[in-house]
Structure 1
Amino acid sequence: MKTYTIARADADVPLTGDVEGPWTAADVASIDEFNWYESGPRPETTVRGLYDDTSLSLQFLVEDDEIASRTTELNGPTYEDSCVEFFATPDPGSNARYLNFEANPCGVFKMAWMEPGWSVRGIGRDLVSPELAEAITVATSEPGPTREPSADDESWWLAVRFPFEALSAFTGLDLAPGSGDRWRANFHRTGVASRSQEASWNPIGTAEKQFHSPGHFGWVDFE
């Protein structure tokens, strides 16, 4: 099981694709576990994380030769587009529910509060409301509102800021992590040319492709 440390930011965190300022202090997590690989390229995707007293920020850098972003509605099927994902169990000691965040290159996202086993039963999730979604700030390299693949495509980036106040309101948990706190989490890359090229940060040991596998989340430590 992998462990990723989210560094504490010592300055305001810019939502950018450049690794500069506070981002230079962030550890890099590579989304390079191709759990169900069969053939084709293995595109490179990395993520960096920072936090302060008020929020958690993530920066995804994505290699992509076919950038597609067609979903325009909140909580729509962003996984059908080029997509990056963050799944997290913020209170692994006493609450098994987990956060599901999925975003496409134009910054459209789905965010859900999931019950374990949701993918099997098809029930037990709460989707973020439009009002609460406005508190989540997303910046990307693609202005949108949509994006069709181009022969010149090489990469895109996405950065997101989750205020702890908004996450607390969404989950019903008191989320204000400090030094030494631990979450369970995984990062994913979906929406690639074939499903066998989809990847995760922490390996997922299931025979069938299943990112909704909180038992296969890694550890995320707050510095």
Structure 2
Amino acid sequence: MKALTVPKIDHNGKTDLLQVSALLKEQTELHTIDQINWPQFPYTPGVSFRIGHTNEEIWIVFYVTEKHILARHTTTNSATHKDSCVEFFIDPKKNGHYYNFEFNAIGTTHLGYGPNIGKRNLIDAELIESMIRTRSTMGTTPVDIEDGSSSWELTAVIPARLLVHENITELSGLSAHANFFKCGDETSTPHYLSWNPVHTDRPSFHQPEFFGRLEFE
């Protein structure tokens, strides 16, 4: 099980998403999403991330370079995993019940909660849209760019209050299980990468037993 410390970010008051990205670059380490768990899908785009928190919010920025940037889904809780997609799964109480935050390359968000892929309860779309802040360097309009090597960056701010099933209001001192992923089911070269290794016969990110550990400062 991999483990990482989530630093508490030193900042002044309300920050816009450009500032979030800059502060993460200044104050956090870079981590890679590069585990090929299923040899039948060997393509490895360049994917890394930074993560921090402010006690009230989780801050994440993903950096991606890939052959084909695809983002067709614009509706909250749609099938973003079929697009160029980065994902953050977190089990705040380490009890096997986790949230799956899935962001496509234009910031469309899918968010569910439950113990496994067959038992997911979608978080209300209005709640997601009012609470999560995202910014992608690709903008918000659907894209389909296949030029061999394009890059994009996605910044996401997730309030602790959005972890509605645990009633978490503060992140400092939290010990959680989590994993980070990159996929693209309908891109020209489907791929399924993870931060912490997943040991299953076929691609499946919904495996909390293979999450790593996050320790929030």
TM-score by length of 2: 0.89
The amino acid that maps onto 1:58 is I
% identical equivalent positions: 29
Give 1:43 shift: 1.1
Which residue number corresponds to residue 45 of structure 2? Answer: 43
Kept in 2, the 8 Å contact 1:15–1:59? The answer is: no
Mapping of 1:1-223 within 5 angstroms? 1-12=1-12, 14-16=16-18, 20-38=22-40, 41-92=43-94, 95-114=95-114, 116=115, 118-119=116-117, 122=118, 124-133=119-128, 134-151=130-147, 153-167=149-163, 170-179=164-173, 181-191=174-184, 192-195=187-190, 197-223=191-217
Give 1:188 shift: 0.3
d(CA) in 1 for partners of 2:166, 2:60: 22
Kept in 2, the 8 Å contact 1:138–1:161? The answer is: yes
Kept in 2, the 8 Å contact 1:64–1:153? The answer is: yes
Alpha-carbon spacing, 1:3–1:143, altered in 2? closer, same or farther (3 Å)? same
Give 1:24 shift: 1.9
The amino acid that maps onto 1:98 is Y
Give 1:153 shift: 4.8
d(CA) in 1 for partners of 2:21, 2:125: 30
d(CA) in 2 for partners of 1:126, 1:216: 21
d(CA) in 1 for partners of 2:48, 2:195: 9
Kept in 1, the 8 Å contact 2:21–2:155? The answer is: no
d(CA) in 2 for partners of 1:36, 1:66: 20
Q: Per the alignment, in what secondary structure is the counterpart of residue 66 of structure 1? A: strand
Q: Per the alignment, in what secondary structure is the counterpart of residue 79 of structure 1? A: helix
Alpha-carbon spacing, 1:213–1:66, altered in 2? closer, same or farther (3 Å)? same
**For structure 1, which segment, 44-53 or 152-161, has the greater mean C-alpha deviation from structure 2 after superposition?**
152-161
RMSD across aligned positions (CA)? 2.1
**Any idea what the Cα deviations from partners look like across 1:150-206, whole Å, max 9, x if unmatched?**
427511110100111232xx3243242213x211000000005444x3100000111
Unaligned 5+ runs, structure 2: none
Could you list the runs of 4 or more consecutive aligned residues of structure 1 that deviate by over 6 angstroms after TM superposition? Answer: none
Q: Per the alignment, in what secondary structure is the counterpart of residue 177 of structure 1? A: coil
Unaligned 5+ runs, structure 1: none
d(CA) in 2 for partners of 1:49, 1:66: 25
Alpha-carbon spacing, 1:16–1:33, altered in 2? closer, same or farther (3 Å)? farther
**Any idea what the Cα deviations from partners look like across 1:55-85, whole Å, max 9, x if unmatched?**
0110000111211100111100000000000
Give 1:129 shift: 1.2
d(CA) in 2 for partners of 1:205, 1:17: 37
d(CA) in 2 for partners of 1:58, 1:27: 11
